[in-house]
Amino acid sequence: MSGGMLYGGDEIGALVFDPGHHSLRVGYAQEDTPKAEIPAVVGVASDDVKTEPEIKPEENNVSSTPSSNKYYIDTTFLHLPKPNMELHSYMKDGMIENWDLFEQILDYSYEKIIQSESHFHPVLFSESPWNQRQKREKLTELMFEKYKVPAFFLVKNAALAAFANGRATALVIDSGATHTSAVPVLDGYVITNAVVKSPLGGDLLVLRAREMLESIGVDLTPAALIASKEVIREKEKPKFTKKKFNFQPTNSWMTYMVKRTVQDFQQTVLQVSENPYDEKVAMNIPAVQYEFPTGYHQDFGPERFKLAEGLFDHPMLGAGYIASTSAGMCDVDIRPALYSSVVLTGGNSLVQGFSDRLSRDLSSRTPGSMRLKMIAANGTVERRFGAWVGGSILASIGTFQQMWVSAQEYQECGKAQIDRKCP
């Protein structure tokens, strides 16, 4: 408990960061939702080719660095095409990969969202269950050395999600943008060697949906490029005018924007059928209409189910399969406890019908002697920001203050202290 009480009390205004592949969630502890959700991509415009743009971006929107690169962060700046702006993601496999870009994001968060000095606020970070030691230490070093935080803590996001749903022991199914993982949590500790993950996540759905839409000839021009459009009848050729730019938007920007367009389509239209996909059944379910940014609109029937089926029909990587594999890798004694509290979290689990289908798939795999219970928060916010909400509460609990790794401890013991205090 050394030094922990120096900044004790409840009024400490801790910050919670929850990095993911889709976005980084930032906000103050004790609040119900994050202050901001920043897309996990950074636009980098190098000034190597000196083509000064006419519309010079306002200086205060851009965090400039000693190198001549300009960085564009957050939805507002990303969605406007700029010459030579390439988009990069700083995440890989659920871990932070590109530290330079990540620092830019942190700078931006402190400056624009928190709007306060970093050395006043203890910071709680969430991490993926398979985060590497070297990366944890690097993050600790970064937070203490560069941002001078008074205290720091790292928690596995699965543990946070389990806590937020009232469980200390649970099997957490986290379906995010790039992967779906099954993580057993025992008394708040992640059983790391029984974590199972599959690459079937939201991005896969987006990819498949995009292929499908392109194959039926839908124009996926993103909204940011459209100046005006006319109302047309269903399945008619869209009539719209494009915005005029005197440069060509970069490929990575186009890819990202098209992805966002398809993502919206995926979130509103797709649905997982309760039973394994059957064309005949799917035909009988009412179709859903969707209008694309170009104004083109049509009904989507069986495709809705066929696309979403990809998350479940794989014999080895389907969500139900990885959940039962993960439970199977744990000790026999705790398996009943895991099956009786399956916690569902992650933005991709919000695809309609996801939880029903998962509980159906899992119940057929649950051993007869065990009871299956699935816990899925109803609200969109609780599901998408499950880990953040958990972190927000944990950091605000009075007695948690003694758990932090304080700056003093860091000075005395170095970055390895994180491995001792944060399992």
Partner 1 sequence: MASGVTVSDICKTTYEEIKKDKKHRYVIFFIKDERQIDVEEIGSRDEEYDSFLQKLQAGGAGECRYGLFDFEYMHQCQGTSESSKKQKLFLMSWCPDTAKVKKKMLYSSSFDALKKSLVGVQKYIQATDLSEASQEAVEEKLRSTDRQ
Contacts to partner 1 by CB under 8 A: 155-156, 159, 162-169, 187-189, 336-337, 340-341, 369, 373, 375, 382, 389-390, 393-394, 396-403, 422-423
Q: Which is nearer to partner 1, 134 or 399 (CB)?
A: 399
Q: Which is nearer to partner 1, 164 or 194 (CB)?
A: 164
User: Is the CB of 109 or the CB of 128 nearer to partner 1?
Assistant: 128
Given the DSSP bridges, would you call strands 297-300 and 288-291 parallel, antiparallel or unpaired? antiparallel
Exposure of 102 in the CB half-sphere (CA atoms within 13 A): 21
Which residue, 387, 359, 20, 17, is CA-closest to 201? 20
Distance CA 87, CA 143 (A): 25
Furthest-apart CA atoms within the chain: distance in Å: 70
The tokens describing 143, both together, are 């937070």
CA distance 237 to 300: 17
**What string of DSSP letters covers 347-377?**
GGGGSBTHHHHHHHHHHTTS-TTS---EEE-
- Classify residue 79 by its DSSP letter: T
Nearer to partner 1, 41 or 375 (CB): 375
| Entry field: residues in the chain | 423
We find the least distance from the C-beta atom of residue 349 to partner 1, in angstroms, to be 17
| Residue 160 Cβ vs partner 1, minimum distance, rounded to whole Å | 9
Q: How many other C-beta atoms are found inside a 10 Å radius of the C-beta of residue 28?
A: 18
Cβ 332 to partner 1 shortest distance, Å: 11
Nearer to partner 1, 221 or 401 (CB): 401
Query: Least distance (Å) from partner 1 to the CB of residue 403?
Result: 5
Q: Are 1 and 400 in contact (CB under 8 A)?
A: no
- The burial class, CB within 10 Å (0-12 / 13-18 / 19+), for 328 is middle
Nearer to partner 1, 45 or 123 (CB): 123
Rounded least distance, CB 329 to partner 1, Å = 20
CB half-sphere exposure, 119, CA atoms < 13 A: 4
Which residues 6+ apart lie within 8 Å of 14 measured at CB? 28, 29, 121, 122, 123, 124, 151, 395, 396
Nearer to partner 1, 61 or 169 (CB): 169
Nearer residue to partner 1 within complex by CB, 136 or 210: 136
166 or 414, CB closer to partner 1?
166
Burial class of residue 267, CB neighbours in 10 A (0-12, 13-18, 19+) = middle
Q: How far is the CB of 140 from partner 1 (least distance, A)?
A: 17
- When the beta carbons of 316 and 332 are compared against partner 1, the nearer one is 332
Q: How far apart are CB 219 and partner 1 at their closest, in Å?
A: 43
**CB of residue 10 vs partner 1: minimum separation in angstroms?**
9
Given the DSSP bridges, would you call strands 36-39 and 196-198 parallel, antiparallel or unpaired?
unpaired
Q: How far is the CB of 22 from partner 1 (least distance, A)?
A: 22
Q: 183 near 126, Cβ under 8 Å? A: no
CB of 414 to partner 1, least distance (A): 22
